């Protein structure tokens, strides 16, 4: 079995992860909170 983890917090992902596009790449996260964190971190790094 392939173990997948959240791109933001490294928690194990369940069967229906949340997909978020950040910087042109689609990544999978475990919850809405992690999705928001990734988007905010990307925006901050880009100076938006």
**Do the Cβ atoms of 11 and 4 come closer than 8 Å?**
no
Output the pLDDT for position 1: 53
Output the pLDDT for position 3: 75
Beta bridge partners of residue 27, listed in sequence order = 20
Residue 32 phi/psi, 5-degree rounding, is: -60, -35
User: Please, is 8 exposed, middle or buried when counting C-beta atoms within 10 Å of its C-beta (0-12, 13-18, 19+)?
Assistant: buried
CA–CA separation, 4 and 44 (whole Å): 26
Give the chain's domain count: 1
For the four alpha carbons of 27, 29, 5 and 45, in that order, the dihedral sign comes to positive
> pLDDT confidence of 46, banded at 50, 70, 90?
confident
| Model confidence pLDDT, tens digit, residues 1-40 | 567 999 999 999 999 999 999 989 999 999 999 999 999 9
Output the pLDDT for position 48: 55
Output the pLDDT for position 29: 97
Domain that holds residue 45: 1-48
């Amino acid at each position: 079995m392939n173990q997948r983890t959240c791109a933001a917090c490294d928690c194990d992902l369940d069967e229906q992860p949340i997909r978020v596009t950040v910087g042109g790449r689609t990544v999978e996260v475990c919850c809405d909170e992690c999705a928001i964190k990734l988007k905010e971190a990307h925006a901050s790094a880009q100076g938006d």
